[in-house]
Chain A
Amino acid sequence: MEINAIRKEFRKFQNIQHYNDLTSNGINLLPFNFKRLNSGRELIISMFGDYLIVPDGTVHNLVKKNIDKITESLHYDLLSNHIISDSDNIKSLELLANRYRAKKTNAFNFAQLHIFVITLRCEHTCQYCQVSRVSQNKEKFDFSHLNLFKGINLMLASPENDITMEFQGGEALLAFDLIKDAISYTKEKARLANKRINYVICTNLAPINSEILEYCKLEKILVSCSLDGHEELHNENRKRPGRNSYSLVEKGLNLSFDIVGRENVSALMTTTTLSLEHPIKIIDEYRKFGFNSVFLRPISPYGFATKNKNSNYQTDEFIKFYSKGLDYILELNRQGEYFKETYTSILLKKILTAFSENYVDLMSPSGLVNSVIVYDYDGKIFLSDEARMLAQMKDFTFQIGTVNDNWETLLANPIIEKIGDAGVNDYMAGCSTCAYNIYCGADPVLHHATQGDMYGFRPDSSFCQRNMSVLDIIFDKIDTESDALEIFKSWVNNE
């Protein structure tokens, strides 16, 4: 008797109204923020990075619970994107916690990028260089073997099992023998520690030759070079005796493509005031060499950059440069050529997928320590490349120790706790109310360098201005250029 009654009730077909959670209390908001688009529409971004472009007045209706002013289709989209809940008790809490954790996986990692400044020697005198220029003869500006092996031991003692070991300089290849020693030492120890190491050498390509490249091929080393743009611009930015940096890069690139293969060669540009006049030419230069991406990077205000007037520029000018470049790149894509802007792609991954991206400057909690560690030629250890550049100007705030320390000591350095606070944008002034919070990061080092305060006053922050402008441009295009979204997607899902 009992079972029949239960059964009957359980198995009776109900209509959709029976499953409605909406009560007289109205809809409930989930954490989200919003921005107004130029078109007049509103951009809503949930705490988890889901975005929705909605009609003007929607946010006001949501806050005032005017559910009758919201169409069923919009209501469903808002539910689907975790912006509202019909039920008073939020039934998706645990799912949402998982979504949030996916955006913050960086916080659970330790540094995966270990940068070794193998030498300070360099024969270029690039105007924006943050490294002390030291001539070729001073052997005391190379990493000593003892310190190098201590640094490598530290790297291999850290918890991550997939590590990238990057050699920088000065000009790293001037210390090629030292690099070879470093790699053979690392290989042996990494095998025992069961770690996988990827190697990268950053070079201006002037010293490159077949012997070096054959070695790179053998050890599967990625070659990362500097290419600032067309010949005139490149040589002006990157002076060297003979004024022929560009032709050496050209020669070096072609040789590298031949020996290690295109997929193992990448190029990075640095922007100067001169660069800002030539976005199209720079992009065309990259296309000429067969690259299908360019990283339109602003220069960090560290080292020689601040001393050299030519590198002084306004963020506004950079944004104009970036915008022109992006428009040109989108046009190329429309004509069937796959070409992407790297910084945009990093942000797009955060916008279009459930994941975050492993790029130091766009992490919150900050990517210092969680993402990168820098071992300087003299054995000092810094929290990031920029932190080391500050040290060039005698500011050692972000040095955590030397290769003679162990991790316990290094991580106990008080600066780590300080950046733990200043490196999280969720609750910082200016950031906590920003719609782009979930896509952005924090940069305690930059703010310390430019404003004397790790937290930074956002309205004056070049970091904030740049990210906000780039994101504004991205969402404006998604909103108003009908094919922009598909092109943007292709930059993220073709990895």
Chain B
Amino acid sequence: MVVLLQKSVYKLEAIRNTIYWFSKNFEILLSEDGDFFEVTSDEFNDSDRKEFIKSLNDFSLREQINIETKDVKNLVVSKAFYPELIKFKDIGEFDDPINILKRNGN
């Protein structure tokens, strides 16, 4: 069975992650054809295909989460292990009116 996946919808990373787990029980080949990725497995039946798509959708979500959050993740990990190397900006305003006045040179 060949599963055709539109490149505009499914990213390679998510497809690879799905294949990684399915390769325990299935022999799977991945190839490209124009605007599509082709996932081929002789051993797939309809139920397997359904499971594969379900899993792929979830890995796609994970990939999107990863893309959006990897900068934050790296910052957090770096600060956790090298606290002195990274300084974050102060969060917002702290001053009371008297200090605001002093700040403005009064």
Q: How far is it, in angstroms, between the C-alpha of A36 and the C-alpha of B58 when the chains are bound?
A: 9
Across the two chains, which residue of chain A brings its CB closest to B77?
Answer: A100
Say what secondary structure dominates the interface of chain B.
Answer: helix
Find out whether the CB atom of A31 lies under 8 angstroms from the CB atom of B69.
Answer: yes
Q: Smallest CB–CB gap between A363 and chain B, Å?
A: 15
Given contacts A429-B20, A430-B20, are A31 and B101 in contact (CB under 8 A)?
A: no
Find out whether the CB atom of A31 lies under 8 angstroms from the CB atom of B80.
Answer: no
Find out whether the CB atom of A29 lies under 8 angstroms from the CB atom of B97.
Answer: no
Find out whether the CB atom of A6 lies under 8 angstroms from the CB atom of B88.
Answer: no
Q: Is A13 engaged at the interface, CB distance under 8 Å to the other chain?
A: no
Q: How far is it, in angstroms, between the C-alpha of A90 and the C-alpha of B71 when the chains are bound?
A: 11
Q: Smallest CB–CB gap between B60 and chain A, Å?
A: 9
Q: How far is it, in angstroms, between the C-alpha of A59 and the C-alpha of B77 when the chains are bound?
A: 24
Q: Which of A91-99, A229-237, A298-306, A470-478 contacts B (4 or more CB under 8 A)?
A: A91-99
Find out whether the CB atom of A459 lies under 8 angstroms from the CB atom of B69.
Answer: no
Residue among A33, A47, A91, A459 making CB contact with B91, cutoff 8 Å: A91
Q: Is B30 engaged at the interface, CB distance under 8 Å to the other chain?
A: no
Q: How far is it, in angstroms, between the C-alpha of A31 and the C-alpha of B98 when the chains are bound?
A: 40
Chain B residues near A7 (CB, 8 Å)? 97
Across the two chains, which residue of chain A brings its CB closest to B87?
Answer: A94
Residue among A3, A93, A433 making CB contact with B59, cutoff 8 Å: A433
Question: Residue-by-residue, is B60-77 near A (CB-CB < 8 Å gives 1, otherwise 0)?
Answer: 011011101110110111
Q: Is A211 engaged at the interface, CB distance under 8 Å to the other chain?
A: no
Q: Is A104 engaged at the interface, CB distance under 8 Å to the other chain?
A: yes
Chain B residues near A433 (CB, 8 Å)? 17, 59, 62
Find out whether the CB atom of B79 lies under 8 angstroms from the CB atom of A94.
Answer: yes
Chain B residues near A93 (CB, 8 Å)? 72, 75-76, 79, 88
A-B interface contact total, Cβ < 8 Å: 84
Chain B residues near A100 (CB, 8 Å)? 76-77, 80
Q: How far is it, in angstroms, between the C-alpha of A6 and the C-alpha of B100 when the chains are bound?
A: 8
Q: How far is it, in angstroms, between the C-alpha of A293 and the C-alpha of B93 when the chains are bound?
A: 52
Residue among A34, A97, A430 making CB contact with B61, cutoff 8 Å: A34
Across the two chains, which residue of chain B brings its CB closest to A102?
Answer: B80
Q: Is B47 engaged at the interface, CB distance under 8 Å to the other chain?
A: no
Q: Smallest CB–CB gap between A468 and chain B, Å?
A: 11
Q: Smallest CB–CB gap between A97 and chain B, Å?
A: 4
Q: Smallest CB–CB gap between B49 and chain A, Å?
A: 18
Q: Is A487 engaged at the interface, CB distance under 8 Å to the other chain?
A: no
Q: Is B83 engaged at the interface, CB distance under 8 Å to the other chain?
A: yes
Find out whether the CB atom of A47 lies under 8 angstroms from the CB atom of B73.
Answer: yes
Q: How far is it, in angstroms, between the C-alpha of A226 and the C-alpha of B71 when the chains are bound?
A: 48
Chain A residues near B79 (CB, 8 Å)? 93-94, 97
Q: Is A133 engaged at the interface, CB distance under 8 Å to the other chain?
A: no
Residue among B20, B72, B73, B77 making CB contact with A459, cutoff 8 Å: B20
Q: Is A396 engaged at the interface, CB distance under 8 Å to the other chain?
A: no
- In order of increasing CB-CB distance, the 4 nearest A-B pairs are A459-B24, A97-B79, A101-B80, A31-B69
25 A-B pairs in the complex with CB atoms less than 8 angstroms apart: A6-B97, A7-B97, A28-B68, A29-B68, A31-B65, A31-B69, A31-B70, A32-B65, A33-B65, A36-B58, A60-B61, A90-B72, A97-B75, A97-B79, A97-B83, A100-B76, A100-B77, A100-B80, A101-B81, A104-B80, A426-B77, A430-B20, A433-B17, A458-B20, A459-B21
Residue numbers of A with Cβ under 8 A of B are 2-3, 6-7, 10-11, 28-34, 36, 47, 59-60, 63, 90-91, 93-94, 96-98, 100-101, 104, 107, 426, 429-430, 433, 458-460
